[in-house]
Each structure stands twice: as structure tokens, then as C-alpha cells.
Amino acid sequence: MRNPQIIKLFLITALCTSFIFSFSYFGTAAYGKIFSDQSEFDSGTFIGNEDVTGMDKSRALSYISEKQAQWVNETALSMQFQEVTKEVKDIPSFYQFDVEQSISLALSGKKNQLIAKIDEEKLNAILLEILPEFFAEGLDRETLIADLLMYASLLESGNHTIKLQNYLPGDLIEDEVIAESSTKISGKESVINMWAGNEASIEVAPHSQISFLDLAEERGGLQFEADEMSIISSALYKALLNTNFMITERHIGRLLPGYIEPGFEARVDSEKQMDFIFTNPNDHKYVINFQQLDKLLYVSVKGPKTIYTYQPSLKDKQTFKPKTIIQIDAKLPFGQKRIGAEGKEGILINVFRDQLDGAGKIISTEKIAEDFYPPVHEVLIYSLAIKKDKADADPAEIEPENSVSIEDEKSESDDEKSSAEQKPDNKQNETDSNKKTGKNANENDEDLWGLDNEAVK
């Protein structure tokens, strides 16, 4: 019979060996499962806007690094204040990402942000280009940086515009008159007074469009004639040329009216569907005021002052002299003439708008319109001329029988002269022919008018 002590020793040895083997194998697996980087993220784990569920940290690191590089290529960032916009050109250096730290600190099953920071030196350089010093001092930088980091930490790609006025105190941006103009009323005092006295101001909301015909409809509609509306719209257009407002639609008449200078007319006519439409491109509202001052209509635009100043510029002006047209009137007494229409010069002028910085230097020039008013020809009306022998007639009394311009007469005279110079023999031939036929001509005259000594029947 075997020794019981040997059996017990064998069993103890076997158990110890099994324990040591099992602890070495399963303990290492358990430790790796709990503490190793090879553990997988639970469901619902996000880093930024990217889902890393089921990925281990090594795979998540590679995946998020790829998405971060893609975000840089697909994202455009710009900052805007008033009408000035600056783009952040070097986004990879403007943002500094720490992907490894983001993966290491990510909580499984939670939404985690990608760790990033901003190069504040580059941010300051951009702000100095956009904001005047007075505004830069009141800027809420902490909130601005937090909003800038939000796009990076969530990996939100696309075009992002940061409006800096949202980070300034409301009382820092004050309203003031940024543009004004005045126009002659030209005998329309009662109408202008009705316009200026009835809701004398127009509120233009941010990024909104205004139609002048709609405004006229709100203020009485058919009570305003085309000439009356055109006086008001022209004064408004002249004022808006001193702002960055966009002129969406504008018309002019065939003749330049006496109440406005060339280049500043804005014709409005509801019957002809001629409207004046403008747009406020700014992030602030503006108020347009109308006021009648004696014989003038005064228009002002009030709101936050823009960074740049604007002013109209008229260039390349050309004038065209009118022609003189002669017409015949049978009812007009002999020897008299009258003016049928006054002549007026034609005008061609280009309208530009200059953008100037604080030092008065022109930054850019925008062409607004090219206005052309054709000349109005002068019309002279003469009485009928009596037929006389050209040898006895006064040259001043010989007038053309049909309507013709002086320029056309000169052209015809020059053509005749040129023809005569080229064919000198024709005139001699005609003279000889007249000599031969003179006798026959006299006989014909006697048959028609009778003899000199013949009694009147």
C-alpha cells in the first residue's frame, strides 16, 4: 500500500503549480484588460464630434489624428468687425492640438473634447488689423478665445466667421451721423413736407433691403408723382453714396433734372416700374432721416460709424454739343423765324465710390454707374421762302424747303464743291447747252405768260 504522505505531497504540489500557472496567465490578461492601452472604449465614447466606440487607444490616436488633419484642410476661419473681414490663413499654426493627451484623458462612454490651444500672438496681430485701438481695449478676449477653441475642440469643419462686435460692450458702439446730403425741392414744398412730416425716418435693419416704391406706397402711394418721388430718391441716393450701402437697383431719366447734379439722379416711376432699391450689408441697423429746410430736402444716415469712410467720385465727364435743326412753317409770316426747342448739351459721366482709411488714403474704388444724357437738339422754325431768281435774291432770304440740320447742309455743300472740282468740264458743257437752248426757253415763257404789249384779259 502506498504511503499516504507521498500522495498528500503530490496533491499539494499539483495545486500550487496550478495556482501559480493560473495566476500568471489570467492575472496578466486581467491587468491588461483594466490598465493596458489596448482596452477598447465603451459605446458612446466621443472625442470632439468623432465616435471612437470599440477602438483601443492606439487606434483612436491614429483615427483622431487623421480627422484633425482633415478638419484643418476643410475649415476656413475669419474675423469681422463692421465692414472689415480678415481671414486666418495659417490655421495649423494658429491652433495647436494635443491629440495624445486627449486620448489619454478620454473617459470611456462619455463625450470628450479634443485638447487645443490658440497662438495668442497671431490672434493679437489679427485683432490689430481689424479693430481700432479704442475698441480693442474693451474686447472680451476670454470669451472670444473660448469660442475660437470650440470649433477646434469639437472638430467642426466649414466656414466660420467670428463677429467681433459681439464681444464688445453695447454702450461702446455709439450711433452718429455717418452721411448726409441736400437737394433742391424745386417747387414741391407741400409734397416734400408731407413726406418728411409723415414718419420722417426709415429704419434699415441689418442685412435688409429697402424698395423706395414700397416706402412711397406706405406714405400715400398714388399721392406722389414720379417727379416728386425722384426728388426724394435722388437726395437719398446722394447720401447713401457716402456709406457702404449697396445700390441694388437705380435708374435715370432721359433728361437731367434741374434739382440734382449729374451722377446723382435716382429716377423713380411706378408706371414704368423704375424703382430705387438699396441694401444694408452691416450687422447694425441704421436710421435714415428726412427734413425739409426752407427750399432744400435734407437727408441724413445715422448709425454706428464704419471703420472706413466712403465718398462719391465723378470721373471721365464728357459733353456733347447739340445740333441745330431747321424746319419750315407755312403759317409763319414771311421773313420771320422762331425757336421750336432749346438745345441742351449731352453728358456722359462715370460714378465711383472711394473707400478711404483713417489717414484719408484711398484703399479701393468701386464703380457704381455710368450715366448718359443724350443732347437735345435745337430746333429753328423759318417761314416759307419766296421763289426768286438767284441772281436777284438776298442770300439771307434763301431758306431750305425741307427740315434739315445745319451740319447736313454743310456736308451737302462740301460734297457739291468736291464734285465740281473733280468735273470742271461739266460746268462748261452745261453753259454751252444753255446758250443753245436759250431761244427755245424764251419762246416757251412767251407762250406761258403772254407778250409784253399784250392787254390783260
Q: Tell me: the pLDDT tens digits for 323-349?
A: 988 888 888 888 888 888 888 899 999
Residue pair 274/206 in contact by the 8 Å Cβ criterion? no
Give the pLDDT confidence score for residue 415 in this predicted structure: 46
Q: In which band, very low, low, confident or very high, does the pLDDT at 21 lie, cut at 50, 70 and 90?
A: low
Give the pLDDT confidence score for residue 280 in this predicted structure: 96
Q: Is the pLDDT of residue 410 over 70?
A: no
- CA-wise closest residue to 163 among 238, 53, 79: 79
Q: Is the pLDDT of residue 431 over 70?
A: no
Give the pLDDT confidence score for residue 369 in this predicted structure: 95
Give the pLDDT confidence score for residue 386 in this predicted structure: 53
Q: Which residues pair with 369 in a beta bridge?
A: 351
Q: Is the pLDDT of residue 34 over 70?
A: no
Over range 432-445, report the average pLDDT. 44
Give the pLDDT confidence score for residue 228 in this predicted structure: 87
Give the pLDDT confidence score for residue 19 in this predicted structure: 67
CA distances from 55 to 42, 100, 114 (A): 8, 14, 16
- CA-wise closest residue to 56 among 35, 41, 36, 34: 41
Q: Is the pLDDT of residue 428 over 90?
A: no
Compare 211 and 26 and report the one with higher pLDDT: 211
Over range 347-355, report the average pLDDT. 96
Q: Is the pLDDT of residue 62 over 80?
A: yes
Whole-number average pLDDT of the chain = 80
Give the pLDDT confidence score for residue 330 in this predicted structure: 83
Residue type, 252: I
Specify the CATH number of the domain 308-409. 2.20.230.10
Q: Tell me: the pLDDT tens digits for 189-219?
A: 777 777 876 568 899 999 999 999 998 888 7
Compare 244 and 12 and report the one with higher pLDDT: 244
Q: Tell me: the pLDDT tens digits for 65-115?
A: 999 999 999 999 999 988 888 999 888 889 999 999 999 999 999 999 899
Q: Tell me: the pLDDT tens digits for 368-401?
A: 999 999 999 989 888 886 545 444 444 444 444 4
Q: In which band, very low, low, confident or very high, does the pLDDT at 10 lie, cut at 50, 70 and 90?
A: low
CA distances from 302 to 204, 287, 296, 394 (A): 10, 5, 19, 70
C-alpha cell read off for 399: 431758306
Give the pLDDT confidence score for residue 63 in this predicted structure: 92
